[in-house]
A and B are shown apart, each in its own frame.
Chain A
């Protein structure tokens, strides 16, 4: 059973516009959420994270929003750049306990110049 879901397998955005990637989870025990970016033939690269005690975390062009009541988080990239084209994975864990990461299936973002 997939505990972390990314329902959009792909997304295309024009350069300079906002990219919004969505993620839903089912396990209410998750309290730490991460986004990873993956280029072909490379491992996932950590991008940004958020604790469940917050509803927003910002790092440069990247902002993650968390809606605990809806069990939903999103990653906003603004402005989008061609170099942002990659597969983005949402991941979640419980910090009290095993700390094992559960990943979504990924969303392929294409930023069109």
Chain B
């Protein structure tokens, strides 16, 4: 079974430039998450989708961040304009409900460096 796919793996941009990240979840997983992981920290949730609906975007900085999940499969996370503090790893995850609880599976992440 293919895992969560993310692209690009690495991105270097100058501040004030836009950037976009793409995620393809595991087939059949209806729930999709975007996380941001800063150096030395655990991942922190940005937004959660149930199919094409964003059910929790309370942690998404909406002045510069946007996300979409058209057709409830692939998702795109955008930052415009990027700031120096946005340098981090952006992780996408999708989940499946097991007998004990919901388990999230992560992609490899996109490492963003803003100069």
Contact = CB atoms under 8 A, between A and B. Distances in A.
Q: Do A and B come from one complex?
A: yes
Interface of A: 4, 31-32, 34, 36, 41-46, 49-51, 54, 89, 91, 93, 95, 98-101, 103-106
B44 A103 contact: yes
Interface in B70-97: 91, 93, 95
Interface of B: 4, 6, 9, 31, 33, 40-45, 48, 55-56, 91, 93, 95, 98, 100-109, 111
A43 B104 contact: no
B100 A100 contact: no
B interface: dominant SS: strand
Contacts of B6: 43
B101 A49 contact: yes
Contacts of B4: 43
9 contacts: A32-B102, A43-B107, A46-B104, A98-B48, A98-B55, A99-B102, A103-B43, A105-B40, A106-B41
